[in-house]
Structure formats: structure tokens, C-alpha cells
Structure 1
Amino acid sequence: MNWMEDGMTSIPNVLLQNYKRLQIEEKEMMVLLHIYSFTQKGISFPSFEDLAERMTISSSDCAACVKKMIQKQVVAIEQGDQTGYEFYSLKPLWNKIAALFESDARGQSLQQAMTAEKDLYSLFEEEFGRPLSAIECETLALWIDQDEHDPSVIKAALREAVMSMKLNFRYIDRILFEWKKQGIKTVDQAREQGRKFRKPTGTEQVTRSENAVPFYNWLEQ
């Protein structure tokens, strides 16, 4: 019962999983956890002696660990607005962990973009039946980087050119130009535009019904 009344310290798993990436050593980590434990009990600025009493290292070693963590911008010592008392702040630690996740997310997005771009080049070469020329590669890069077309939309424009039996970059560029002018930025929007473009009317509908040809919807994923 005494143990339960003394409370528990809840340690975020993200800290245990990522302290190595933050270059926090094991000894520093234990000092950090004890600081965290003290703050959860309402003791916001434990002394080095308080920390050392719980550990197998001296108070001077605790001071050295805290100094290193301040230099690594893991821990900060701040002052209260009104009372002016000092306290340990772990905000730098949580900000660093958040920055790690943001960096991971950016890296993942970049990797996905690079994979999509590589697949797009491969698809073009497959449809053209030959390696792309330097000018064609540059044009493809401009569609992505300068015109900011999504690779899936460029893929859709390629399928449109294949269907129309006009497999050349000038025709694909014209499709992308028209789509951008009409504000089409996604495959779904391109799909809807394709439906409108191919909707048969009048005599055309009769002719198509008499000479039915299997239709492949290139926009279907």
C-alpha cells in the first residue's frame, strides 16, 4: 500500500525508443528520468544531491550530466514569471523528439516521391518501347518540378495519349496544359473530365452502338 501511495512514474515510450538518436548516454538518461520523476511529484528543481541520493554516481557526476544535457539542448533551466524560482524544463526534449518525427515524415515523403518518379520514368519507357532521350527526361522532370503535376496525373495523361494513339511528348504536354488550365490536379478530377470528353451524343452514339468496341478506361486504378 505504501508503494502504491508513493505513486508511479510514467515514462513515454517515444523517449525510451529515441534517446539514442538524441545522443543521450545511459548515465544521462537515468539522471533525466530522475528529474522527470521529481517533477511529477511537484519537485521542479531537485538538487544534484537529491539526484545522487537515488543513483550510484556522485552529485558532481550528476551536475556534469545535467550540464551536458543542457549543451545538447535536451534540458533547460528556466525561471518562474512571478516568483523567479528556477526549475528544470523538459520542453527542449519533447521538441527534439517532435523534430525527429517531422524529419522522419519528410524523409518518408521524399522517398515515396522518388519512388513514384522512378516508376513514372519506367512506365514511359515501357509505353514508348525505348529509353527516353535526354530532352524527354528533362521534359518529364519539368512537368514534376516546374509545373508541379502529380506523378499520378502525368501517368493518367500518358494513358490518354496511348488510348488516342498519339504517343508523343507534345501531345501529353498539351493534355497536361489543358488539365492545369481547368484546375485538374488529381486522377479523380481527370477521370471526371474524361467522362465528359467521351460522352457520346446524337449520331455519334448511334454509330458507336452499331460498331461497339471494348473501351478501356485508363483512369481506373
Structure 2
Amino acid sequence: MNIAKIIRVYFVFTMMVASIAVLSYNDGFEDYILSVMHANGNAVNASNITPLVDFQSGMKEFSSKNESSSLLTFKFVNDPYNGFVAPGTEGAELMGIYFKAGSETVILKDLKLKLEGIEPEFIEKAYITDGQDILKVGSSFGEYYSFNNINEIIDPNHYRTLYLLVDLSEDVHTGERFRMDIESPDDIVLFTGIDPFSIDEYYPIKGKYLSVAVAR
């Protein structure tokens, strides 16, 4: 072994010893090592472990992303194996709109979506269903589709998926793909209990794509 290798090995060894010495001054370090290694030593006192991240300070922001069971979980979903549609199709499923209520009743009152990817003239009708019945037919203004007074109720600790369907024109071009987005917080009106609920998310909340293709 040459001198350079000896020096590198000695340096690494010295740094490891120094790091262990510094960490050992932390009262929670021994308990942390025991918990990680599943050692059979004395019972670990979790209160002694110093957290690497202060989750409490970020909890408010985390909850505002609607992943807390005490509020509301909301997301767009789709069937990845059913992402194509032929021109002229009626009742093509563009996406699902998933809600999971927490401890309060959730009411979806209004929804406005913006069409992206194709011209509005190629969408003959857009409507929301519960999987069986039509709940609301959208009124269109340019690329915007408004679904007012839906008034769909999701009971506490229950989930519901609504479905956005469209009737396509025969003239829509193959190879195109399109989606519908929630452009701003004002475009989805929700209540949890009796209080308005705003989805704190990055806008636009982009919908799922549907591609236009001709069956072979």
C-alpha cells in the first residue's frame, strides 16, 4: 500500500471517529441507533429521538393539500387502459372526479372546467354522472363548461367518484388529445359541514387526457 492510500484510509477513519463522537453527545442518538437496528437493549424512549424534520411546523400546509382525513381528499382519476376514443363517440368518459370526505359532510355545489387541446366545437355535450344517472349537463361558453347546482353530498368518512362524460363531434381529428382543467380556486365550490372549503393546490389542476383515435 503506498503512502497516498494510507493517508486516505487514515483520513476516512479519523472522520468516522469524529462523527460518532459528535453524535454521541445527543441524548437521543443511542436510542435512535437501537430503534433503527432493532437492538434488544433497554426500551427506546421515543421522546429522546431528535426528529430530522419538524413535521408539526409543516402540518398546516400538508393539510391544505387535502390529504388529511379530517378535511377532504380530492383528485382526478382515469382508466389508463381506456384512454382512447373514436370521433363521434357519445358518452366518452374523460375522467373521474374523486372525493373522500373526512369527519364532515362534503357538498359539491358548482364546478367550472376549461377545455384544453381541441376546439370547443368538437365537444357537442359535456355532463357529469354518478356512474348511472346524469347529475348535471354543462353549459358552455367558449372553452369553459359550467356545472352549477350539482349539490352532490358525500357523507362523512365516505368516498364518491363522479364521472365527466363528453359527446364528440364526428369532425374531431384523429391524433388529437384533450383534457379539462380547474383553472382557479373559484371554479370549484365545496362545503365541508357548513363552511366553504377551498382546495389549496397548484392551479390549474390539470385533468386527464383522452386521445382521439380510430379503431383498427
TM-score range, shorter chain: under 0.3
Between structure 1 and structure 2, the one with the greater Rg is 1
What is the TM-score when the length of structure 1 is the normalising length?
0.25
Structure number having the greater helix percentage: 1
Higher relative contact order (CA 8 A, sep 6+): 2
